[in-house]
Amino acid sequence: MISYLIDIFLIGIGAALINNFVLYYFVGICPFVGVSRKISTAFGMGCAVIFVIAIAAVISWAITTYVLMPGALLSRTVAGLFVPPETAAGIDLTILSYIVYIFAISSSVQFVEMYVRKFFPPLYKALGVYLPLITTNCAILFACLVIMSKITGVDNPADAWDLGRALTLAVGGGIGFTIAIVIMAGIREELDLCDVPKPFKGVAISLIVAGILSLGFMGFTGVDSGLRKAMMPKPEVVAQVQPEAEAGK
């Protein structure tokens, strides 16, 4: 249990600071340079991203686990109606993942937008305008893809991420995005009062600032393993071992 919590904590820290979505993985650059002119706007955008990324993570985790991955519960059951169970268990729908994710993201964004607009007009005023922009924000899809790779890409099914980890990664990433974009907006408001050479005004100087920021954030490299080392009791090397049956081919 403790180790699970530590894991969650480190995933969150990792996504937010160490491997910041924007500054390390380069996702969500378009809004990062586009919507970072004012602190308030940037913060609104960040909140909207956190919100949507969480929803998208839940949906994509569920779809991947229950429908897409080989031997997933739903597809196996449905296919089992037509073919023998062994074959059904091998059916792999991961090829659909991209299309399904983007479909899920865009429709959930839209649904949320309509819902909020109807029932929480003040919230819509504050947040709603950013929602549509998010559909084409790489960060969301990126989070889904990472989650997918942690479910289908692992060597053994026991390591597959559960919903908690998936959600933490997504929310951590969203928070990381918010941190980056708010810092950027603060700096850009400051830069409005500076004498930046003309060709660099606007996006070019923002990218350079992002470069220096990313340089600064490189300082966090290794914080996660440092924290893990500090928090985890050293694993015993002597181990109780059982051989397993050969994995079927």
Partner 1 sequence: MNIVTIGLSAATLFAMAVVICYILGWASKAFYVEVDPRVEAIGAALPGANCGGCGFVGCNDYAEAVVLSGAPVDKCPVGGASCASEVAGIMGVEVGESYPQRPVVHCTAKYSDRKGRHEYRGEMTCKGANMVAGVQGCTYGCLGFGDCTRVCKYDAIHVIDGVATVDYDKCIGCGACGSVCPRNIITITPFKKSQILAVGCSNKDKGKDVMAVCEVGCIGCKACARKSEIFKIVDNLPTINYDNWDAECSLEVLEACEKCPRNRLIFVGEPSDADIVATKDKEAPEIIEADFKTTVDDTEWRG
Partner 2 sequence: MKPIQQMEPLSPTAFERLRNNNIIQAWLVLILTLCFGSSLAGIQMTLGPKIEENKLNETLEKIPELILGAEGAQKLTESGEKLDVIPRSFVVDKPGKKAVYNVYEAFDKDKKRLGWVVKTGGQGYADRIELLLGVDPEVKTVSGIFVLEQKETPGLGNKITFEEWRGQFKGKNTETPMGVVKGGKAGAGDINAITGATISSRAVTDIVNMAVADLKGPLTANAEGGK
Partner 3 sequence: MADQPTAAERFIQGILPENPVYRQLLGLCPTLAVTNGLKAAITMSAAVLFVLFCANVIVSLIRNLLKPHLRIVIFTLTIATFVTFADRFLAAYVYQMSKVLGPYIPLIIVNCLIICRCEVCASKQGVVTAGADAIGQSLGFCLALCSIAAVRELLGTGMLFDIRVLPVVWPDWVIMVLPPGAFLTFGLLLGLVNWYSDRRAAAAGGK
> Which has the closest alpha carbon to 55: 93, 11, 110, 18?
110
Binding mask 94-133 for partner 2 (x = CB under 8 A): -xx--x------x--xx--xx-----------------x-
Ramachandran quadrant class, 113 (left: phi over 0; alpha: psi -120 to 50; beta: rest) = alpha
Question: Counting contacts by CB under 8 A, is residue 107 touching partner 1?
Answer: yes
CB 141 within 8 A of CB 100: no
> Cα separation of 110 and 104, whole Å?
10
> Cα separation of 190 and 38, whole Å?
10
- Residues between 215 and 234 with contacts to partner 2, criterion CB under 8 A: 221-222, 224-225, 228, 233
Cβ proximity to partner 1, 12 vs 128, nearer residue: 128
Question: Counting contacts by CB under 8 A, is residue 231 touching partner 3?
Answer: no
Smallest distance from the beta carbon of 201 to partner 3, in angstroms? Answer: 8
Tokens at 182, concatenated:
């708010």
- Write the DSSP string, 5-63: HHHHHHHHHIIIIIT-TTTTT--SHHHHHHS-SSHHHHHHHHHHHHHHHHHHHHHHHHH
> Cα separation of 222 and 128, whole Å?
37
**CB atoms < 10 A from the CB of 71, how many?**
12
Exactly one of 3, 77, 110, 225 binds partner 1 (CB under 8 A); that residue is 110
Binding mask 44-83 for partner 3 (x = CB under 8 A): ----------------------------------------
Question: Counting contacts by CB under 6 A, is residue 137 touching ligand FES?
Answer: yes
Using CB under 8 A, list all residues that contact partner 1: 30-31, 34-35, 37, 41, 44-45, 67, 75, 78-79, 82-83, 87-88, 90-93, 95-96, 99-100, 103-104, 107, 110-111, 114-115, 117-119, 129-130, 132-133, 135-136
Residues forming the site for partner 3 (CB under 8 A): 23-30, 33, 95-96, 98-99, 102-103, 106, 135-138, 140-142, 145-146, 149, 197-200, 203-208, 210-212, 214-215, 218
